[in-house]
Homo-oligomer: A and B are copies of this chain.
Amino acid sequence: MKKWVYLFNEVKEVEKLAGGSWDGVKSIVGGKGAGLLDMTRAGVPVPPFFTVTTEACNAYQAGTKFPAGMWEQELKALKVIEKATGKKFGDAKNPLLVSCRSGAKFSMPGMMNTILNIGLTDEVAQGMIAATGNDRFTYDSYRRLVEMFGTVVMDVADEAFEHPMHQYKNQKGYKLDTEMTGEDWKAVVEIFKAAYKKETGEDFPQDPYKQLSLATEAVFRSWNGKRAVDYRNKEGISHTLGTAVNICTMVFGNMGDDSATGVAFTRNPSTGDHKMMGEYLINAQGEDVVAGIRNADQIEDLVKQMPQAYKQFMDITAKLEKHYFDMQDVEFTIERGKLWMLQTRIGKRTAKAAVKMAVDMANEKLITREEAIKRITPENVDALLHPQYDAAAMDQAEKEGKFLAKGVNASPGAAVGQIYFDADMTEKMAKEAKQQTIMVRPFTKPDDVHGMIASQGVLTSEGGATSHAAVVARQFGIPCVVGASVIKIDLEKREMQVGEIIVKEGEWISVDGTTGKVFVGQIPMTTPTLEEQTELMTLLQWADEVSARKGVRVDVNGKPMRGLQVWANADYPKDAQRARSYGAVGIGLCRTEHMFFEPERLPIVQEMILSETSDGRTAALNKLLPTQRKDFDGLFEAMDGYPVIIRLIDPPLHEFMPDEEKLLEEVITMRVKGETDGLKAKEDLLESIKGMHESNPMMGLRGVRLSIVMPEIVEMQVRAIFEAAADCTLRGIVVKPEVMIPLTGTVKELEWIQPRLVRIASAVMAEKNIKFEYKFGTMIEIPRAAVTAKEIAKQAEFFSFGTNDLTQMTYGYSRDDAERNFLITYQEQGILGTNPFQTIDRDGVGKLMQWAINEGRTTRPNLEVGICGEHGGDPNSVEWCHIIGNNYVSCSPFRVPIARLAAAHAALTHRPKAAVKKPAAKKPAVKKVVKKAVKKVVKKK
């Protein structure tokens, strides 16, 4: 006979069936069942229970009836529980009540059903009152059973119970449930039973076994309920796993002053401090603590009221932390002096607490440093370093009545800005008036995306977490609150209103996408620095150590490699300084063209562009040389000892010229009006700009192409780089300049330009009579460069993936156009899972990168490979860079800490098998034990 049911003490049998795999155990008895079995085995006092397996659920789904023998096994298990508890199911004198809960392999919170107090009948209720003298508790429990059973098992609508309950309280003039007496609950039980009969056509079952049987079946059925199916679709959980059913003895904290109930965290979930934090209530039920019916006592007070139970509780929770190697969130009940642990789970915590706990636990040797690193997510780090409202200022704002509304927290982050009620206006004020803007709309459409992108934050009065505004805002990382329905938006009057408060277009509000709160006015924000956060500093230091281990990877030639370094993209010395303070060990991209846009330089740049001769260009460029040299000087100084990659000019020249359309408008206007003064000059300029016009500038005359057609600019740039590097060297600074040539598509481009530039480098070093190391390399951002990387590596001494352009060209998506025109639709329709401009498309772009590295290293085994596209700060993309063998990722300075963590995660996730075993063998015995324990946990998770 197949075994469908496992008792609380049968963990070994399940393990055996699962072939020793804890994952297998969870597959059989579900996550909750596995947890209960594990706690029981560990000697934690858990109320006796048994679990009906997921296989039984699947067998039920197949035949819509219990599989043969299952019910008999439930009855038999019940007998064992009766024996263990000394109570009897359905016995009025000494009744055993049970709960019936679903529990699938993966947690699906709130998706499936629970029924408590099974076993209560009219007769049993009488017996309980007799035994406990507590009619209020008894009838309250009974009415809960009737309601839960009715709604969950019999599909009765909630209103069928809620409505008469409401009526009863109105009649009595009660506002709160606590005002209800035992008599009142008794009356409600009768009302509920009548409602039950009316809705189902049957009496509420007075047979406890029938209750249990129907409840079990209801849990099975709930596996295929709409909510559960939707959830699984969303989360990618298989529909064939099935749910287990856990039947557990009910215990009660409200059986008198020797009873209590409480919840606690083994460490402070807000700060991470290593101190138990919790609350309890004497003579109360679990939910009363959460509901805040009475003021709960702090957990440390329990030592006075129930010293023995307190000591046992502290011992058990300490044990649980050690058993699960993490902070626990526990629920407990003391029934007549006896402590029962009802649940333990890994406790949720703030980002700050997560980091502190991880570092503390590693220092306590509870977990390894590796485990500590793994526990912190990139989002944690992001949250700790992102601008956020000053907490005191937010409290102050609430006190001052500036709180406006609370909506759905659709996209996290804090924003402050001036409001505008349409996308065009929002974009205009953001771009032209350089305002910080917040776009406010009833809801958004694809047409509104340009306004959203231009905003600090987005607020809508309609829609939920999956509305257009929410999806787009999350996609672009814009703080967003949606569905703040109390806000009345008047698009005609250009204002919004909540009660008395009216906010007009152009006025300031603050939107907190993390909490969903909206305030009038500007709440000050703070950006925490990394230095302030010592635990995070420590953790990232450990992360760097993991990445720096030799042999965490093997390259294409079979050579052991270190993990990823993290460099930063920085155009100015101040960015470089920040990058360094955030842990960057190199500059992966300095964009030189930004320097050309500076107001005092732009006219010279334009003069250079409009020159018709090489001499004219050179004359203008000579004026730029000293300032450009100074730019590089500052960078080298800031990065003393670290490599600095400087990219030669990349954009098409027309980007430096005045706007064509505006000029055209001016010229036409002058012509029509017959104004001649200055017309000729404007016409000539317009003609020049028109001459530079390109149909697809993204794929036009830029990067190395421009340098070949017009080499004077890069010749000046290379001179500036090497003059600055030479000057710095003379000042005792260690410089490692790497000159990066953008947009290479064929090695012949490098063969043409590189020797010309190397000659300049050599000339400068000869002039200054000094030598230092340097490299010339190229971006890999054209698909053809990736395909022909073997050739390109013959010239290029390093590769840096420009994944923005590589993505544009591999997909054939013009980024600006695509995000506006079809990327949203593509994501909504599931054609694109993630935005390839945020996360590297591993199947397409990523394949080309992998090919490029492998081919490049067959030519040049020590080829240095990096990435300087925006993907360099995206954790998933960082992982891909680790897998394919990048030496480093380079990202914006603010993303450096995130990338450092992501790099370590990648190193830990993908280390070769040999590398996993080695360190263990080298460590002293005591650590070995911890390691083993950790491994066990990892296995169980």
A residues near B (Cβ < 8 Å) are 661, 664-665, 668-669, 672-673, 694-701, 705, 708-709, 743, 745-746, 748-749, 752, 781-784, 787-788, 791, 805, 808-814, 816-818, 821-822, 825-826, 829-832, 841, 843-845, 847-848
Contact (Cβ within 8 A) B745 A812: yes
A398 → chain B, closest Cβ, in Å? 42
Known: A673-B672, A697-B696. A708 touches B745 (CB 8 A): no
Nearest-CB residue, chain B, relative to A749: B831
Contact (Cβ within 8 A) B810 A699: no
Contact (Cβ within 8 A) A745 B811: yes
A178 → chain B, closest Cβ, in Å? 55
**Chain B positions within 8 Å of A813 at CB level:** 699, 745
Contact (Cβ within 8 A) A843 B708: no
Known: A743-B812, A787-B848. A817 touches B700 (CB 8 A): yes
**Chain B positions within 8 Å of A821 at CB level:** 694, 700-701, 705, 709
**A812–B843 alpha-carbon span in the complex (Å):** 20
A826 → chain B, closest Cβ, in Å? 7
Contact (Cβ within 8 A) B743 A694: no
Choose among B696, B749, B832, B841 the residue that contacts A817 (Cβ–Cβ < 8 A).
B696
**A841–B783 alpha-carbon span in the complex (Å):** 13
Contact (Cβ within 8 A) B788 A844: yes
Known: A696-B817, A699-B699, A745-B812. 6 other contacts (CB 8 A): A699-B808, A699-B818, A746-B844, A748-B832, A782-B810, A787-B810
Sampled A-B contacts (11; CB under 8 Å) = A695-B697, A696-B814, A697-B814, A699-B808, A708-B831, A745-B812, A748-B831, A783-B810, A784-B841, A787-B810, A787-B847
**Chain B positions within 8 Å of A664 at CB level:** 661, 664-665, 668
A771 → chain B, closest Cβ, in Å? 31
**A565–B825 alpha-carbon span in the complex (Å):** 39
Nearest-CB residue, chain B, relative to A665: B668
Choose among B697, B746, B748, B809 the residue that contacts A809 (Cβ–Cβ < 8 A).
B809
Contact (Cβ within 8 A) B695 A816: yes
A236 → chain B, closest Cβ, in Å? 16
Contact (Cβ within 8 A) B746 A708: no
Nearest-CB residue, chain B, relative to A673: B672
Contact (Cβ within 8 A) A812 B805: yes
Choose among B673, B708, B831 the residue that contacts A829 (Cβ–Cβ < 8 A).
B708
Contact (Cβ within 8 A) A832 B746: yes
**A494–B816 alpha-carbon span in the complex (Å):** 46
Contact (Cβ within 8 A) B695 A817: yes
Choose among B743, B814, B831 the residue that contacts A699 (Cβ–Cβ < 8 A).
B814
Choose among B752, B784, B788, B826 the residue that contacts A812 (Cβ–Cβ < 8 A).
B784
Contact (Cβ within 8 A) A782 B805: no
Interface-centre pick from A697, A788, A821 (highest chain B CB count, 10 A)? A821
Contact (Cβ within 8 A) A752 B673: no
**Chain B positions within 8 Å of A791 at CB level:** 843
Contact (Cβ within 8 A) A830 B783: no
**Chain B positions within 8 Å of A661 at CB level:** 664
Contact (Cβ within 8 A) A787 B844: yes
Contact (Cβ within 8 A) A700 B752: no
**A782–B672 alpha-carbon span in the complex (Å):** 46
**Chain B positions within 8 Å of A673 at CB level:** 672
Nearest-CB residue, chain B, relative to A670: B672
**A843–B844 alpha-carbon span in the complex (Å):** 19
Contact (Cβ within 8 A) A783 B812: yes
**Chain B positions within 8 Å of A810 at CB level:** 782-784, 787, 809
A264 → chain B, closest Cβ, in Å? 48
Nearest-CB residue, chain B, relative to A700: B817
Contact (Cβ within 8 A) A698 B699: yes
Known: A672-B669, A696-B699. A782 touches B812 (CB 8 A): yes
Contact (Cβ within 8 A) B695 A698: yes
**Chain B positions within 8 Å of A781 at CB level:** 812
A673 → chain B, closest Cβ, in Å? 6
**Chain B positions within 8 Å of A811 at CB level:** 745, 782-784
**Chain B positions within 8 Å of A696 at CB level:** 696-699, 814, 816-817
**A672–B746 alpha-carbon span in the complex (Å):** 50
Nearest-CB residue, chain B, relative to A782: B812
